[in-house]
């Protein structure tokens, strides 16, 4: 693992231009002609830009969006049954670091975004418990809280790459049903302990207060281990689209389990077999059988730059960078290939790694106009290796598209254009 920024990159460079960090810095220390990104040499003259001709805007009571019109969610899709049942994706290729700004967190709503009055909303814990309990927003604010940086991924993420032909799309357009945030809330076991879980309870059925009343069965062990009732997202109260006033968060598991606008937690000895865990989110196999409750999202990564629809403007050294995550623990290693999987080099993991947390990986790459196929491969702390697209699609029923974690391939053409391909 390479988490330092000192040039101590242990992994060797690999084919088709992948460099070690040390090689990259040596380029930078060379002559101006070989500079890293050919910066303009300063002439010590400063312009009279129009924004310097008068004072700027006054302070405001809430921040505005960056002056960058392209910075917006993508794939804003509405369901044929009604515009409220839709999704939107995080523009992964426009962001850096690991945290998704709240305004760009992906969305998935089965029945639109309810407008909930936090003063009248209640969460009830009932079923196989000694004392059914009801919590309101104010009561939950008084419990001990925890903060955790976690990824959240819809199990339908990346489904476009299960289709027969490779679609020309951006990284966010293909894989943007993943976001990450620092979530703050009440560890669920506090509430369950207080209610007194019956020895016969094995599952917690979580239900939302949206019109869909979306519900899922969560194994009791997950609920007691590390699930939380999230109240804050990146420091501010949850956005309405993320479940205000409160949502369940089940770290590392398919997004569907993290029920938004949470109003009921019912303890049962068996799963409830809800729509979301029978007709949806079961893994249909080639032989007609299905695997239920494959809840943990598998090891996965995606290069966000260079990525689909980008154009490399000139030959030179580029940083290949992306995100990796796994619901089975933390990311141990990310390998990058520039020759379609022929050879691999270790990328640097350049953000704080941790369980159920997305990490940023980076590796320098010299592009001299040669065609290339860029890929990344995540390896998690449980030893799982991200499969190729073909491996990920073996023993999957035709048309089944959930839980796809195959390696993404970006072809860089001689003209610098980057496109999604199946390698």
Phi, psi dihedrals of residue 32, rounded to the nearest 5°: -60, -35
Least distance (Å) between residue 18 CB and ligand MTE: 33
Candidate ranges 73-81, 107-115, 219-227, 310-318; the one touching Mo ion (CB under 5 A):
107-115
Residues near 28 by Cβ (< 8 Å), separated by ≥ 6? 35, 36
Q: How far is the CB of 333 from ligand MTE (least distance, A)?
A: 27
On the CB side of 257, CA atoms within 13 Å amount to 27
> Strands, DSSP E only, in 20-132?
74-79, 82-89, 107-109, 122-127
DSSP letter at 255 equals: G
Of 140 and 248, CB closest to Mo ion:
248
Query: At 150, which helix (H) or strand (E)?
Result: strand 146-153
H or E element in which residue 21 lies: helix 21-28
Contacts of 99 (CB under 8 A, 6+ apart): 149, 180, 181, 182, 234
- Separation of alpha carbons 159 and 406, rounded Å: 10
Compute the least distance from the CB of residue 181 to ligand MTE, in Å. Answer: 9
* Least distance from ligand MTE to the Cβ atom of residue 254, Å: 7
Contact 331, 353 (CB under 8 A): yes
Smallest gap, in angstroms, from Cβ of residue 177 to Mo ion? 7
Nearer residue to ligand MTE within complex by CB, 256 or 337: 256
Determine if 108 is a binding residue for Mo ion (CB under 5 A): yes
Exactly one of 176, 208, 327, 406 binds ligand MTE (CB under 6 A); that residue is: 208
Residue among 270, 265, 248, 266 at smallest CA distance from 257: 248
The residue from 152, 205, 334, 348 that contacts ligand MTE (CB under 6 A) is 152
Binding to ligand MTE by residue 233, rule CB under 6 A?
no
Select the span of 152-160, 258-266, 312-320, 326-334 touching Mo ion (CB under 5 A). 152-160
Closer to Mo ion by Cβ: residue 107 or 346: 107
Q: Which of 128, 145, 154, 378 binds Mo ion (CB under 5 A)?
A: 154
Residues 93-112, one symbol each (x = binds ligand MTE by CB under 6 A, - = not), give ------------xxxxxx--
How many residues form the binding site for ligand MTE (CB under 6 A)? 20
Residues 255-274 that bind Mo ion (CB under 5 A): 255-256
Position with the least CB separation from Mo ion: 154
- In the 8-state DSSP scheme, what is residue 43? -
Contact partner at residue 339 from Mo ion, ligand MTE, none, CB < 5 to 8 Å by partner kind: none
Restricting to residues 188-217, which ones interact with Mo ion according to CB under 5 A?
none
Helix (H) or strand (E) holding 320: strand 316-325
Q: Which of 248, 101, 107 is nearest to 176 (CA)?
A: 107
254-313 binders of ligand MTE (CB under 6 A)? 255-256, 258-261
User: Is the Cβ–Cβ distance between 407 and 341 less than 8 Å?
Assistant: yes
110 binds, among ligand MTE, Mo ion, none (CB under 5 to 8 A by kind): ligand MTE
Beta carbon of residue 174, minimum distance to Mo ion (angstroms, whole number): 16
Nearest to 250 by CA among 210, 280, 223, 282: 223
Contact in structure between 2 and 20 (CB atoms under 8 Å): no
Nearer to ligand MTE, 254 or 380 (CB): 254
Closest alpha carbon to 208 in 272, 124, 287, 134: 124
With CB under 5 to 8 Å by kind, the binding choice for 212 among ligand MTE, Mo ion, none is ligand MTE
- The CB-of-356 to ligand MTE minimum distance in angstroms stands at 15
Would you tell me which residues interact with Mo ion (CB under 5 A)? 108, 154, 255-256
Would you tell me which residues interact with ligand MTE (CB under 6 A)? 105-110, 152, 154, 208, 210, 212, 214, 241-242, 255-256, 258-261
């Amino acid at each position: 693992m390479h988490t330092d920024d000192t040039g101590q990159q242990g992994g060797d460079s690999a084919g088709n231009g992948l460099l070690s960090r040390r090689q990259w810095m040596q380029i930078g220390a060379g002559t101006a002609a070989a500079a890293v990104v050919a910066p303009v040499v300063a002439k010590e003259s400063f312009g009279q830009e129009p924004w310097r001709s008068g004072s700027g805007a006054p302070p405001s009571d809430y921040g505005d969006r960056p002056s960058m019109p392209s910075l917006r969610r993508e794939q804003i899709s509405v369901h044929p049954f009604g515009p409220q049942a839709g999704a939107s994706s995080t523009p992964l290729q426009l962001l850096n670091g690991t945290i998704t700004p709240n305004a760009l967190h992906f969305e998935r709503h089965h029945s639109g975004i309810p407008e909930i009055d936090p003063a009248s909303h209640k969460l009830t814990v009932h079923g196989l418990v000694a004392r059914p309990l009801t919590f309101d927003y104010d009561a939950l604010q008084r419990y001990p809280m925890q903060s955790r940086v976690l990824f959240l991924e819809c199990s339908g993420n990346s489904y476009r790459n299960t289709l027969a032909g490779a679609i020309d799309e951006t990284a966010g357009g293909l894989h943007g049903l993943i976001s990450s945030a620092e979530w703050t809330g009440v560890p669920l076991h506090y509430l369950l302990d207080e209610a007194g879980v019956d020895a016969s309870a094995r599952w917690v059925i979580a239900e939302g207060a949206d019109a869909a009343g979306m519900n899922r069965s969560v194994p009791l062990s997950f609920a007691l281990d590390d699930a939380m009732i999230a109240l804050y997202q990146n420091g501010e109260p949850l956005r309405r689209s993320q479940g205000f006033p409160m949502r369940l968060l089940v770290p590392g598991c398919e997004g569907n389990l993290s029920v938004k606008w949470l109003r009921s937690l019912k303890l049962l000895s068996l799963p409830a077999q809800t729509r979301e865990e029978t007709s949806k989110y079961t893994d249909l196999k080639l032989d007609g059988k299905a695997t239920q409750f494959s809840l943990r999202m598998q090891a996965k990564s995606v290069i966000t730059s260079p990525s689909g629809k980008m154009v490399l403007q000139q030959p030179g050294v580029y940083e290949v960078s992306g995100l990796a995550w796994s619901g089975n623990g933390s990311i141990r290693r990310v390998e990058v290939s520039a020759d379609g999987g022929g050879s691999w080099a270790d990328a640097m993991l350049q953000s704080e790694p941790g369980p159920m947390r997305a990490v940023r990986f980076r590796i320098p790459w010299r592009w001299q106009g040669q065609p290339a196929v860029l890929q990344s491969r995540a390896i998690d702390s449980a030893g799982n290796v991200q499969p190729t697209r073909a491996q990920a699609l073996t023993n999957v029923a035709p048309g089944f598209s959930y839980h796809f974690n195959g390696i993404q391939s970006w072809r860089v053409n001689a003209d610098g254009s980057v496109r999604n391909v199946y390698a």
